[in-house]
Amino acid sequence: MPGPTVVRFTARVVGRVQGVGFRDYVRTRGRRLGLVGTATNMPDGAVVVIAEGGAPACQNLARLLVTGHTPGWTDRVEVVWQRAQGDLADFRRK
């Protein structure tokens, strides 16, 4: 039986998401879900999350970003779904 479909998403998270442990939260949750990716602070105060792995796990992480049960708070989360690229090896905080 084949495994889950592998997908990728990029999420731009706007709100109070820098300096509050948000990237560490995303990295920890992503690793627990078996995902690879990055959580990167942007100059405008947003955080960009790129995650890749099984579709159910990616959907779970994207849902966590949107629900707001994260350090700080989120005002807006823009998620773009893409094909997996296979260029990530771990979940990192940048």
CB 22 within 8 A of CB 74: no
> Residue 52: enclosing H or E segment and its boundaries?
strand 47-54
Number of other residues whose CB lies within 10 A of the CB of residue 34: 11
CATH architecture of the domain covering 6-84:
2-Layer Sandwich (3.30)
Q: Predicted confidence band at 70 (pLDDT cuts at 50, 70, 90)?
A: confident
CB 7 within 8 A of CB 81: yes
* Enzyme catalytic residues: 23, 41
pLDDT at residue 68 above 70? Answer: no
Q: Predicted confidence band at 7 (pLDDT cuts at 50, 70, 90)?
A: very high
14-66 pLDDT, tens digit per residue, is: 999 999 999 999 999 999 999 999 999 999 999 999 999 999 999 999 999 98
Distance (Å, rounded) from C-alpha 62 to C-alpha 58? 6
pLDDT at residue 12 above 80? Answer: yes
